[in-house]
Amino acid sequence: MGALGKPIILMVAMYAFLKFGLPNIPGSAPLPSSLIFLYLLLTAGGIFMFETVSGESKDAFWGPIQRFLTGENIGGLQALRYGVFILFPLLVGWQTYGSTAVSDLPPTESRTIHPAPPGEYTGLSNPVPKTPDNIMQGKGFYAAYCSPCHGGNFDGKGPAARGFIPAPANFADPTTIAMLQESYLFWRIKKGGVGLPIEGAPWKSAMPRWEVELPDEWIWKIILGEYDGAHQSPRTWE
Amino acid sequence: MKPANRIMKRVLRDGTAAIAAMIIGGASLGYAQESVSVRATLLTGGVPVDDPSAAVWSSAPPATFPMSPQVHWQNRIQEVTVKDISVRALHDGTQVAVLVEYSDPTQDPDDAAALEFMVGDKKAHFAHGQPMLQVEGGPVNIWFWKNKTGKAIDMSAKGFGTLKPQEHQDVTAKGVYSNGTWKVVFSRKLLTGHADEDVQITAGQFMSISFAVWDGRKDAVGELVEKGSQKAVSSWWYFRADAPPDYSGYMYAAIAAALGLGFQFVLIRKLKKGQ
C-alpha cells in the first residue's frame, strides 16, 4: 500500500495549496474551481507518468490499487472498499446534477475598476500650479461637489454613499488615486460613470458627468485638493 | 504491510474528511450573501394584483435593497427619507406582481414609488437610461405609482428629459399605508406586445431592476422636499421570475450514478479475472 500513500498525500497537499495557500500570497487571488480541477488533473497525470515509468514501479503503483478494488487480502480496509463503491456512483450523480441544474445565482459580473482612458486623456499634466491657495480652493470645491459621496475624510464614506454599487472610491486607499495619474482623474471626473468603457460597466456608476457643470480649472483644483486631503500623491512614470 | 496499511487507512480517512469539509465550506459560501435579486415565486391561481396585504405574499422571499439620494444629475438631493426597501414578487405564468415595502413616517398625497427595468438586450444606465459615451445603451421601462392618483403609469425613457407615458398602459398599481409603512403592489402581464418599449419577462431569466421612492412630505414653507429627480434611488439589481419546476437534473443524476455503478462492476469483474 506504501506506493499509493505518497500520490494521495501529494494530491491532497496540492489541492490545499491551490485552494487555501495560493490566494494568501500577496497579489494573488482565489483560483476558479475549473482551474484548480485542471491543475489537479495535471498533477495526477504527472504522478501517473512517474509511477508507471518502469515495469517495476508500475506494479508497485497498480498492485495496491488492484488489491484494494478486488478486495483480496485487504483485511480491515474491506469496509472502506464498500464505502468507495457506494460513494463513487453518488459522487458521479451529484456532479452531474450540479452541472445540469439551473443556477440560482445571477450572472457573474466582472467590472474593470480602472479601465484604460481614451487617448486624449493620457499624459495630461495639471495646468493649475500646486500652491496652498489652489489646494485650498480645490478642497472647497471637493466639499461642495464630491464629499456627499466620497466623504469629508476622502474615505468614500459620504452620507449619500450608502447604496451605490459600485461604491464611491475611497481616495485614502492606496489602490485608488495613489496608483493613478492626475490625467486619469481628470477624465473620470469630467466624464463620470457614463464615460466608462463597456468593461467599466458604465450603466451602474452614479458618478456625475461633471464637465456639464464644472469648468476644467475647477476639476484640476479638485484633483489637487483630493491628493492633498487623502495624503496621497499621483503616480508618475519615473 | 501492516503499518503501511494503517497509514493508508488514516490518510484515506483524513483525506475524505478534509475533502468533505472543503465541499461543505465551499457550498455554504455560495449562499451567504446579501440580496442581489428579486425572485418572483411561481404560484398557481391568480396573483394578488390589487392586494398588498394578501396572505400569499408571505410565500415570496423578501429581498432588501439600500436606497441612496439621487446625486447623479441635477437637481440633486443630499438626504432622503427612505433608506431601504423590501421587495417581493409573485407570478402565475401570465401575470406578475411586485410588492414594494418601505417605512415612511407620514402618509402624503405626493408619496410615490417606481420600478425601472432595462428593455431588450442593451444595457441602460440606471438614471433613466441616460446615454453612455462609449457604449450604446438601451431604453428603460418605468412603472410609476403615486398615492394621489392611486394608479400606475407605464412609462419609457432613454436619457434625461425623455420620460413620457406610453401609448399602451399595461401596468396597474395599488398602495396601502398603515403603521408607518407603505406597501405598494405593481402588476402587469409577463409579456406585452410591445417589446421595444416594455420589459418582457421570461421565466427563468435574470433581468435588471432598480427602484425609486419619493417621500411626499413638505418643508416649512410648503414646498415638496422630494420631487422629480430629487428622490431615493437604488442601483441596478436582478429580477427573475421562477421557471416551472424542472426535475430533469435528478433524472440525469440518476442515469450518471447508474453508469458509475455499472462501470465499477465491469472494472472489478475484469480485475478479478486477472485482466
pLDDT, tens digit (0-9, with 9 covering 90-100), for A184-204 = 999 999 999 999 999 999 999
pLDDT confidence of A27, banded at 50, 70, 90?
Answer: confident
Q: Do B39 and B95 form a contact (C-beta atoms < 8 A)?
A: no
Q: Which of B134, B233, B264 to mutate to test the interface with A (most CBs of A within 10 A)?
A: B134
Mutate which of B119, B135, B252 to disrupt the A interface (most A C-beta within 10 Å)? Answer: B135
pLDDT digits (tens, 9 = 90+) for B67-109: 999 999 999 999 999 999 999 999 999 999 999 999 999 999 9
Residue B221, chain A, CB below 8 Å: the answer is no
Of the candidate ranges A155-159, B44-48, B136-140, the one whose mean pLDDT is the lowest: B44-48
**Residue B14 pLDDT:** 55
Residue A40 · residue A15 · CB < 8 Å: yes
Cβ <8 Å between A148 and B133:
no
* Residue B9 within any structural domain of the chain: no
Q: Which residues of B108-122 are buried (b: 16+ CB within 10 A; e: fewer)?
A: bebbbbbbbbbbeee
The answer to whether residue B256 is domain-embedded is: no
Q: Is the pLDDT of residue B161 over 60?
A: yes
pLDDT value, residue B197: 95
Contacts of B252 in chain A (CB under 8 A): 96-97, 100
Q: Is residue A214 pLDDT above 50, yes or no?
A: yes
Domain annotation covers residue B6: no
Q: Tell whether B15 is covered by a domain.
A: no
State the pLDDT confidence band at A74, using cuts at 50, 70 and 90: confident
- Residue B162 falls inside a structural domain: yes
Is B11 among the domain residues?
Answer: no
* Number of domains within chain B: 1
Q: What is the CATH number of the domain that holds B170?
A: 2.60.40.1190
pLDDT at residue number B27: 41
Q: Does B176 touch chain A (CB under 8 A)?
A: no
In chain A, the residue whose alpha carbon lies closest to the alpha carbon of B15 is A12
Mean pLDDT of all residues in chain A? 91
- Is B180 part of a structural domain of the chain? yes
pLDDT of residue B230: 97
All domains of chain A in start order, with CATH? 2-100 (no CATH), 119-229 (1.10.760.10)
* C-alpha to C-alpha distances, B78 to A4, A80, B73, B107, nearest whole angstrom: 67, 66, 12, 22
DSSP for A23-54, please give it: GGSTT--PPPHHHHHHHHHHHHHHHHHHHTSS
Residues 6+ apart with CB under 8 A from A52: A58, A61, A62
C-alpha cell at B11: 490518510
Find chain B residues with C-beta within 8 A of A77's C-beta: 5, 8-9
CA distance B91 to B60: 10
CB B259 within 8 A of CB A95: no
Instruction: Say if residue A105's pLDDT is above 90.
Output: no
Query: Rounded CA gap, B110 and B99, in Å?
Result: 19
Cα dihedral sign, A163-A166-A172-A174: positive
Is the separation of the CB atoms in A202 and A195 below 8 Å? yes
**pLDDT value of residue B193:** 92
A contacts of B15 (beta carbons < 8 Å)? 8, 12
Residues in A closer than 8 angstroms to B71, CB to CB, are 148-149, 160, 206, 208
With a CB cutoff of 8 Å and minimum separation 6, the contacts of B95 are: B46, B47, B49, B187, B188, B189, B190
Q: Tell me whether 0.95 is exceeded by the ipTM.
A: no
The mean pLDDT of B34-63, rounded to a whole number, is 92
Check B260 against A88: CB less than 8 A apart: yes
- Report yes or no: A8 at the B interface, CB cutoff 8 Å: yes
Task: Dump pLDDT digits (tens) for B100-153.
Answer: 999 999 999 999 999 999 999 999 999 999 999 999 999 999 999 999 999 999
Cα A116 from Cα A113, distance rounded (Å): 10
Would you say residue B224 lies in a domain?
Answer: yes
| Residue A127 pLDDT exceeds 90 | yes
Among B66, B236, B250, the residue with its CB nearest the CB of A97 is B250
What does the pLDDT look like over A162-184, one tens digit per residue?
A: 999 999 999 999 999 999 999 99
Is A86 in the B-facing interface, judged by CB distances under 8 Å? no
Give yes or no for residue A42 having a pLDDT over 60: yes
Rounded distance between C-alpha atoms, residue B105 and residue B83, angstroms = 12
Q: Provide the pLDDT for residue B142.
A: 98
Range of the domain at B77: 37-241
What are the pLDDT digits (tens) for B171-223?
Answer: 999 999 999 999 999 999 999 999 999 999 999 999 999 999 999 999 999 99
A-B C-beta contacts closer than 8 Å: 165
Residue B10: band (very low, low, confident or very high) from pLDDT cuts 50, 70, 90: low
Residue B252 has pLDDT above 60, yes or no: yes
Residue A97 is nearest to which of B15, B30, B249, comparing CB atoms?
A: B249
Distance CA A32, CA B215 (A): 45
